[in-house]
Amino acid sequence: MLIRCFTRMGSFFAAYGGRYNADMSKRLLEEIQAYVGFTARDAMNAQSLADLVRPQIPQIAERFYQVLLRDPAAKAVFTGGEAQIARQHSLLCQWLAGLFEGVYDRSYFDARFRIGATHVRVGLPQRYMLLGMEIIWEELARIMREAALPDLEEKLDSIHKLLMLDLTIMLESYQESYSEAVRGAEREALEAQLMHAEHLAEIGQLAASLAHEIKNPLAGISGAIQILAEDMPENDPHRRIIHEVLRQIDRLDSTVKDLLLYARPSRPSIREVKLDSLVQRVLTLLREEPALRKVRVEFSARDGEASFLADEGQMEQLLINLILNAAHASDEGGVIQVSVRRQDGGTRLKVSDTGHGMKPDVLAKALEPFFTTKARGTGLGLAICRRIVEAHGGTIRLESKVAQGTTVSMDFPFIPPQNAKRD
Ligand code: HEM
Ligand SMILES: Nc1ncnc2c1ncn2[C@@H]1O[C@H](COP(=O)(O)OP(=O)(O)OP(=O)(O)O)[C@@H](O)[C@H]1O
Ligand SMILES: [Mg+2]
């Protein structure tokens, strides 16, 4: 009976979910009283039972523990052993006496709320509160029935309402403590996110200024070395060294370009991009890449869906990074699939491979700038992809299974054709 009534209270409290001050506890008490239907007459009825119940309080408390402690999990809540049980026993007796005093005001509410808070603190699972209250209800109802009271049904009803009132207030402490825990966890997550964002922004700025400092001297070195090389005879043995120096300068140069691309992304200039010519162009740009010799790159689109609106240069950069990653992860004979689909009004671009995949810890960090597992990687490839996708208002998602492969899915929102530039 008690429990059935209690479930009705659930929705009542769902609306509350908040912190309390003095005003709120008074208002809440009034609202619970109104909801349970607890009136001045019920208060009077409860008070009229005081003389009957008071002498039997120790017995009720005794019975309460007898039933409760049969359950090993309930017993385990009393980590302080017999001494704690004895303390709670006497506190329970006080609580029982308080039920029949006839005053159900704000301090009554606060005291009940504090009992609930103690239960939360000792880690008492909520369901034991229902069990506990059920035991109290059975005992009180038995005593009242045995006393052959006039107006028995009405008084039973009043006591039932009163127990509901107490149970509800005590359980309210749980909601308060859970909300506090959730708020705390959310706050921590947000702080961590902010620190992470600040850290990334700092790295980005540092990287951009460093890249600028490096760019010009690098161009100078490259130019000077090329002049030296021009003056060397065709068969000079040092030509090989010069060639190697230029190759390394090229690598440095492309790293610096990546850094700038990451730190200073440009606004996309939206045009119609055709998937087939995009992929062809990317493959041409990558034709010297050894990793691409061992794989096959396929692309697919449904009829009429092979073109989409985006910044062509940025899409090229995106596919270069993704196809290179996929090729690096693939063995001989691997297949890389590039596809576009209309999806919920927008466009989904996907690049999948059948390569070695990523372990969960790598997957979790792969999009972060400077995260790399490669000896010669900069760790900016995917971070740049993310920047590009986000600059288009889209989202990027990685899925990967070790030894099975990786899929990078990018969802771009619908862009109205009138926003696209025409050639
Ligand atoms: C109708 C249900 C219950 C009522 C009215 C009730 C009442 C109380 C009261 C009045 C206190 C003292 C609060 C304080 O000092 O702030 C208390 C504490 C406590 N209760 Fe309950 N209780 C109920 C159910 C239970 C159940 C079912 C368990 C265990 C299974 C339990 C375990 C405890 C424990 C461990 C303490 C802390 C005792 C201490 O170390 O001070 N209670 N309870
Ligand atoms: N398709 C893929 N399959 C398996 N692992 C991948 C794949 N794509 C990325 N990764 C993992 O994610 C890491 C980060 O990739 P990202 O492209 O950002 O940097 P990188 O490839 O290491 O260096 P670079 O800056 O030269 O691209 C890689 O080092 C690799 O471990
Ligand atoms: Mg990469």
Q: How close is the Cα of 390 to the center of ligand 3, in Å? A: 18
Q: Is the dihedral of CA 65, 68, 70, 71 positive or negative?
A: negative
CATH superfamily of the domain spanning 270-419: Histidine kinase-like ATPase, C-terminal domain (3.30.565.10)
Q: How close is the Cα of 291 to the center of ligand 2, in Å? A: 13
Distance CA 4, CA 7 (A): 6
Across the chain, what does the average pLDDT equal? Answer: 87
Amino acid identity of residue 415, one-letter, is I
pLDDT class of 419 with cuts at 50, 70, 90 = low
Q: For residue 298, what are its two tokens? A: 């396929």
CATH 1.10.490.10 range(s) for the chain read 2-188
Q: How close is the Cα of 406 to the center of ligand 1, in Å? A: 54
Q: What is the pLDDT of residue 10?
A: 39
By the 10 Å C-beta count (0-12 exposed, 13-18 middle, 19+ buried), 317 is classed as buried
> Mean pLDDT throughout 15-26?
57
Radius of gyration of the chain (CA): 36
Task: Give residues with Cβ within 8 angstroms of 98, minimum separation 6.
Answer: 108, 111
Give me the residues paired with residue 339 across strands: 300, 350
Closest-CA residue to 102 (of 36, 49, 23)? 49
Q: For residue 85, what are its two tokens? A: 């049980």
Ligand 2 in contact with 369 (CB < 6 A)?
Answer: no
Least confident of 3-7, 203-207, 238-242, 327-331: 3-7
Give backbone dihedrals phi and psi of 332, rounded to 5 degrees, phi first. -50, 130
Ligand 2 in contact with 337 (CB < 6 A)?
Answer: no
CB 214 within 8 A of CB 194: no
- Residue ranges lining ligand 1, Cβ < 6 Å: 68, 74, 77-78, 80, 84, 87-88, 91-92, 95, 114-115, 118-119, 122, 124, 128-129, 132-133, 136
- Furthest CA-CA distance within the chain: 123
Q: What is the pLDDT of residue 376?
A: 82
CATH 1.10.287 range(s) for the chain read 192-263
Q: What is the DSSP pairing of strand 346-353 with strand 307-311?
A: unpaired
Give backbone dihedrals phi and psi of 245, rounded to 5 degrees, phi first. -60, -45
Q: For residue 329, what are its two tokens? A: 């992860």
Q: What is the pLDDT of residue 407?
A: 98
pLDDT digits (tens, 9 = 90+) for 65-101: 999 889 888 888 888 888 888 898 999 999 999 999 9
Residue of 359, 372, 402 to mutate, ligand 2, most atoms within 8 A of C-beta: 372
Task: For the full predicted model, state whether its pTM sits above 0.75.
Answer: no
Please tell us whether the domain made up of 192-263 is placed in CATH 1.10.287: yes
Least confident of 151-160, 182-191, 308-317: 182-191
Give me the residues paired with residue 409 across strands: 350, 397
CATH 3.30.565.10 range(s) for the chain read 270-419
Q: What is the pLDDT of residue 369?
A: 85
Give backbone dihedrals phi and psi of 341, rounded to 5 degrees, phi first. -145, 145
CB 326 within 8 A of CB 298: no
Q: Is 408 helix (H, G, I), strand (E, B) or coil?
A: strand
The CA-based angle 6-170-11, given to 5 degrees, is 40
pLDDT of 365 over the 70 cut = yes
Task: Give residues with Cβ within 8 angstroms of 210, minimum separation 6.
Answer: 259
Give the single-character DSSP code of 393. Answer: T
Q: What is the pLDDT of residue 65?
A: 92
pLDDT of 125 over the 70 cut = yes
Q: By percentage, how much of the chain surpasses pLDDT 90? A: 45
Q: Which CATH architecture has domain 2-188?
A: Orthogonal Bundle (1.10)
Closest-CA residue to 123 (of 185, 73, 164)? 73
